[in-house]
Structure 1
Amino acid sequence: MKQKKKWLSRLAICLGVLSLLGAAGSGMANIANADEQKISGNPVSDNTSVRSITIWKYEINSSTELGERGDGINTDPGKAPDLGGKKLMKDVNFEIIKIEAIGNASLIDPLKQVEGKDWEVNTSFAAIKGKTDKDGKLTFNVGTGKAADGIYLVREIKDSTSGDYTYTDENGETKKINKPMDPFFVHLPQTKRDDTGKLIYDVHVYPKNIITDTKLDKTIEGGKGYSIKAGNDFQWEATTKLPDGLYNKIDKEMTITNWLDPEDGLHKDLVIDPSRLPFELFANYFKVKDSLDERLLLKDVEVYVLDEKQENPIKLTNGTEYEVTLGGTKVIDPNKVEDLTEGSKKEVEVSLTDVGMKKVTLEKNPYLQVVYKVTTNKDFNGTISNKYDVNYLLPGQDPVTETSEESPEYYDGGFDIEKTDEGSKVLKGAEFHIATSKENADLKTYLASDGKSYKLNEDGSTTPELPKDVYFVTATSDEHGKAEFNGLALNWFTDTDGDGKQDPSNPAEKTWDKDKIEKKYWVVETKAPSGYELIKDPKEVTVTLGSADDTNIELTIVNKKKTDLPFTGGTGTMLIIIIAIGAITIGTAAIAIDKKRRAV
């Protein structure tokens, strides 16, 4: 009997446990994934659950990557969602406020329903702000129980320090966001989209930012500085890493919001339905703008695309793959983009056509390079710097304007000579050549207008022969004893490998401070003023960016007067001349007398 009671007791305990488990199981059936995301099978909201919105923030490169609208479900509960290789975005700022509909307004899209007309802020709820963590995640807990039920507005906000929409990239650098994500409404709890009898208490959303990752780099002859003899050709390069989204071939239905219709200039939704597939979607525009210094003479503009390593340039065709305007006037091949007018800026705009945008996308040429071929006046002295702008509008985004950060510079310098005698009297008519080294000066190897040096031979010929239209750089003292050399090349960086070109990535070859930029030259007097001796030896002079200033004399050259040498002939010579003349006279008279006598 005791054993039977004991058995019944154990059975009762087991049944009790099973009953409890069944009750628990019944409760769990109403809440799926209770530890990760609370989804209740009870259509009536409870008064005990926390209401929250979890944001997973990541970047995309174009509007075509937006995908379908979310349903509030965490695709990978308890972990960062599967982003398909997309990058998470850290330190993106958000704000959440509670709102109420005005009248019978249906709150679906904050871009369409307007504050003050369709909805108003529920002032009983204090706005909450936060930023995404290293996993791109941010959770807003808005409260517990029915008091927290309602509609919330989630929006991206500016960083309080910088005043911009920002995020922190994988290198820890703060980057600007071109266009913040569109704000959106969230019901808490939210009805499950595919099973409308259930409620989601922790709604997961996946707002995206389109990050273009455009990079601008202005160089001059491939470096961050340059210097040659003024009057010779050189070039500036504007190299831009192109944004994604210039061209897309769309093969599925989608809607691009905030699209600027180029036909009427209005923003609207671009609905791409099955009847329009496949659909080619282009950026509204991509433009490179440059305002070249008025001291530059523009000789032409060329456009290239480069590969990932910024190599293997492919020249684009003007009028087909890009269009160019100079001062607002379109320039079409075969005409050069040329303006040789001094004293006026050269406003150049290069704009990719649809053909060009498609080409750079399909051929995977991510860099666009605009090359400006220029020169200066042959006597230019000073510094010229230059930046450029990029303007573009991708589908569904706001217009972007970016300016290159670094401004490469071009340098030339000159110097002044004062020519006097020993008594400080200024001398006119002294002629000078210039050499780039003492050795060249000693060997009569002088600087020419093309920036190269040529040997001047005894017979006046040159070795090697001067090219056509090239001449020696010379100066002649005027009535004030003044002579000057201008437009001379300067040294502006340390050429560690001796190749004559700056490597901007090598810290050892960085550009010098301006007060260190200089170059030594040697002056040779090749013709002395009348009545004076040549100076015989080359004179060294240091040319800087400021030495061309006429207020200072960098080199004073003093000539000595010619000495008086003894007469080389004396009076004996004169006597011989007189005797000779007398003899001629007498001889002539004798002949005349003899002729007369014979005649008699």
Structure 2
Amino acid sequence: MFTQRRLGKLIAGASAMALAGMGLFGVAAASADELSDITPGTPGSISVHKSSADPVEGLNNGSLLTPDPGAGLGLDGVEFTLQQVLFDGAPIDLSVADGWELAEALAPESAGGALPTGYTLAAGVPQVTEGGVATFSGLDLGLYLVTETDSGNNLIDAAAAPFYVSIPYPNADGTWNYDVHVYPKNTLNTIEQTKTVDDSAKVLGQEVTWTLVTDVPDSDLPYKSYTLTDSLSANLDFISWESVSIGTGELVPTDDYTISADNAVITFTGAGLAKLDAAGATTVTTVLKTKVNSIPEGGVIENTATVNINGTEADGTTNTNLGTLQLEKKAEGENGVLLDGAEFELYGTAPDAEGEPTSSPLATGTTVDGVVKWELHLGIEDDMESSYWVKETKAPAGYVLPADPWSGELVVTNGQILIETITNHKPTGPDLPLTGASGTVLFTIAGLGLMAAAGGAVLVKRRRSRTQG
């Protein structure tokens, strides 16, 4: 015999099931006499509220909460699927006591799992949230299973646990609620992103490598999208995307991700997203190679990359710093002229006590119009200056190297031009002796006398020739 006490227990069980997965408790059950108040054929509805608000403590009785705990934080595009619970292939009739007994037999924790013998589920009906709410309307009386099946463009950490909802739902005052509101627990993930730049480049024109590491959390729901956008500044030239990896596994271009025509955006394909889903909590590492083509005002080149996962964005920014060292080669003296052809080596470390280099040269240069210029990578992040040493290896033609061919320490600061003047001595040599001036005069007179004698001989010879003729 189905007693009033038994019926009260069944309805209480249904109330608890209706709120399972919401982190809230069921309300008091109605009495057996109130079953007659249920009106078969009355359409019902289930409104699922999804937001990024933290779960609230307290009770939910299936009514619309005022104020809304998720006001202004509703998540759009989250998909829920509704399935009516069947017994022996037919809907459970909650207008009669036997129907509530069948409903009670399903423990709340069974939602979403294997069902006992005789219970099945009808075909699912999906609905996505708009304004943070997914509403299933025009429902027949019965027991329903609600499952969160898709995150949409939301970075959801844990999907709401599947839960049962009854139509109607018993109110504490003995009436019945045909339009039930539920508020599943919500947990959103956050993206942690770190961007670094290597410090190996020393001179303008060398490659600069940027590495972006994104911590991707595990998710109960499949990831819908993953994009990485890196729009380079005018001071950087794109060279290549070197690699994209999930964990330690490198992805395959075209198969796992695509690159936009302007090389600014990487987008995971379905295959890449599937690998991301399978990896659980992991990292995505992307390596980009560029070349610095110019130094901006201030000397700091920032590069920002934006990761977007399921509509949630995170930025990572880092920088490299540059400055200029300019040598002017002049002849020794107050108004020394600029000299071409002097050759120099640039070092990032000081020479040893014997004047020998302690590292390989960073660059070489030859003066043109008296000048040699190096545009330099000084460091990354907060490293805004660097020290350099210059060695002259060849003096301009006609000049000699100084006894110490090394400069002192030259400190170059980001965004600035350090001009250093280096002079060379031009040797003149000692005065050489010459033959005296009096001797020169005698030689000149003697030469004139010889010339006069020779001229007279010619005249005598011509006169004799005329006389004989």
- TM-score of the aligned structures, taking structure 1 as reference length: 0.44
What pairs with 1:461-476 in structure 2 (closer than 5 Å)?
472-476=363-367
Q: Does 1:138 align with 2:57?
A: yes
CA distance in 1, matches of 2:47, 2:23: 28
2:194 to 217, 223, 227: 217
The answer to whether the Cα contact below 8 Å between 2:386 and 2:413 also exists between their aligned partners in 1 is yes
The answer to whether the Cα contact below 8 Å between 2:46 and 2:182 also exists between their aligned partners in 1 is no
Q: Which residue matches 1:419? A: 329
CA separation of 1:204 and 1:195: change in aligned 2, threshold 3 A: closer
Q: Which residue matches 1:71? A: 18
Q: Does 1:547 align with 2:412?
A: no
Q: Does 1:319 align with 2:254?
A: yes
Q: Which residue matches 1:290? A: 230
1:434 to 315, 329, 346: 346
Q: Which residue matches 1:275? A: none
In the TM superposition, residue 403 of structure 1 has moved relative to its aligned partner by 3.2
1:528 to 374, 388, 395: 395
In the TM superposition, residue 77 of structure 1 has moved relative to its aligned partner by 8.3
CA separation of 1:320 and 1:212: change in aligned 2, threshold 3 A: same
CA separation of 1:361 and 1:556: change in aligned 2, threshold 3 A: same
Matched residue type, 2:335: S
CA distance in 2, matches of 1:402, 1:74: 28
In the TM superposition, residue 387 of structure 1 has moved relative to its aligned partner by 1.4
In the TM superposition, residue 377 of structure 1 has moved relative to its aligned partner by 4.0
Structure 2, unmatched stretches of 5+, are 27-41, 76-128, 137-141, 144-164, 175-179, 437-469
CA distance in 2, matches of 1:488, 1:195: 73
In the TM superposition, residue 414 of structure 1 has moved relative to its aligned partner by 1.7
CA distance in 2, matches of 1:197, 1:472: 80
Q: Which residue matches 2:301? A: 384
CA distance in 1, matches of 2:303, 2:377: 19
Q: Which residue matches 1:518? A: 385
1:234 to 204, 208, 219: 208
SS of 2:45's equivalent in the other structure is coil
Q: Which residue matches 1:182? A: 133
2:268 to 343, 352, 360: 352
CA separation of 1:73 and 1:530: change in aligned 2, threshold 3 A: closer
CA separation of 1:195 and 1:230: change in aligned 2, threshold 3 A: closer
The answer to whether the Cα contact below 8 Å between 1:239 and 1:370 also exists between their aligned partners in 2 is yes
CA distance in 1, matches of 2:344, 2:278: 59
Q: Based on CA coordinates, which of the two structures has the bigger radius of gyration?
A: 2
Per-residue deviation, residues 278-306 of structure 1 (Å, max 9, x unmatched) = xxxx6443221211223223222133334
SS of 2:378's equivalent in the other structure is coil
CA separation of 1:417 and 1:401: change in aligned 2, threshold 3 A: same
CA separation of 1:474 and 1:442: change in aligned 2, threshold 3 A: farther
CA distance in 1, matches of 2:205, 2:23: 66
Per-residue deviation, residues 328-369 of structure 1 (Å, max 9, x unmatched) = xxxxxxxxxxxxxxxxxxx42212122222223335472222
CA distance in 2, matches of 1:206, 1:283: 23
CA distance in 2, matches of 1:432, 1:179: 69
Matched residue type, 2:415: G
Matched residue type, 1:389: T
Matched residue type, 1:182: V
Matched residue type, 1:542: V
CA separation of 1:546 and 1:213: change in aligned 2, threshold 3 A: closer
CA distance in 2, matches of 1:380, 1:436: 23
Q: Which residue matches 1:590? A: none
Q: Does 1:305 align with 2:245?
A: yes
CA distance in 2, matches of 1:78, 1:110: 18
CA distance in 1, matches of 2:63, 2:312: 40
In the TM superposition, residue 425 of structure 1 has moved relative to its aligned partner by 3.2
CA distance in 2, matches of 1:106, 1:195: 9
Matched residue type, 2:320: Y
CA separation of 1:368 and 1:108: change in aligned 2, threshold 3 A: same
The answer to whether the Cα contact below 8 Å between 2:343 and 2:393 also exists between their aligned partners in 1 is yes
Per-residue deviation, residues 469-505 of structure 1 (Å, max 9, x unmatched) = xx95114151xx4x2432324255xxxxxxxxxxxxx
SS of 1:388's equivalent in the other structure is strand
The answer to whether the Cα contact below 8 Å between 2:343 and 2:364 also exists between their aligned partners in 1 is no
Matched residue type, 2:305: Y
CA distance in 2, matches of 1:432, 1:354: 55
CA separation of 1:106 and 1:428: change in aligned 2, threshold 3 A: farther
What pairs with 1:496-511 in structure 2 (closer than 5 Å)?
511=381
CA distance in 2, matches of 1:521, 1:407: 28
CA distance in 2, matches of 1:359, 1:74: 29
CA distance in 2, matches of 1:348, 1:75: 42
Matched residue type, 1:386: N
The answer to whether the Cα contact below 8 Å between 1:418 and 1:426 also exists between their aligned partners in 2 is no
2:185 to 208, 219, 223: 208
CA distance in 1, matches of 2:63, 2:348: 82
Q: Which residue matches 1:108? A: 45
The answer to whether the Cα contact below 8 Å between 1:306 and 1:365 also exists between their aligned partners in 2 is no
Query: Percent of counterpart pairs with the same letter?
Result: 23
What pairs with 1:34-53 in structure 2 (closer than 5 Å)?
none
CA distance in 2, matches of 1:472, 1:76: 67
CA distance in 2, matches of 1:387, 1:379: 17
Per-residue deviation, residues 13-46 of structure 1 (Å, max 9, x unmatched) = xxxxxxxxxxxxx99999879xxxx9699xxxxx
SS of 2:339's equivalent in the other structure is coil
CA distance in 1, matches of 2:208, 2:229: 19
Per-residue deviation, residues 551-572 of structure 1 (Å, max 9, x unmatched) = xx532224444243233x8669
The answer to whether the Cα contact below 8 Å between 1:289 and 1:389 also exists between their aligned partners in 2 is yes
Per-residue deviation, residues 203-234 of structure 1 (Å, max 9, x unmatched) = 9955232523332222223xxx6653332223
Structure 1, unmatched stretches of 5+, are 1-25, 42-52, 54-68, 80-104, 113-130, 143-148, 167-177, 186-190, 249-281, 308-312, 328-346, 394-399, 447-451, 455-470, 493-510, 573-600
CA separation of 1:402 and 1:298: change in aligned 2, threshold 3 A: same
User: What's the Cα RMSD here?
Assistant: 5.1
CA separation of 1:426 and 1:27: change in aligned 2, threshold 3 A: farther
CA distance in 2, matches of 1:70, 1:426: 95
SS of 1:566's equivalent in the other structure is coil
CA distance in 1, matches of 2:130, 2:435: 104
CA distance in 1, matches of 2:213, 2:8: 56
Q: Which residue matches 1:367? A: 283
CA distance in 2, matches of 1:228, 1:141: 64
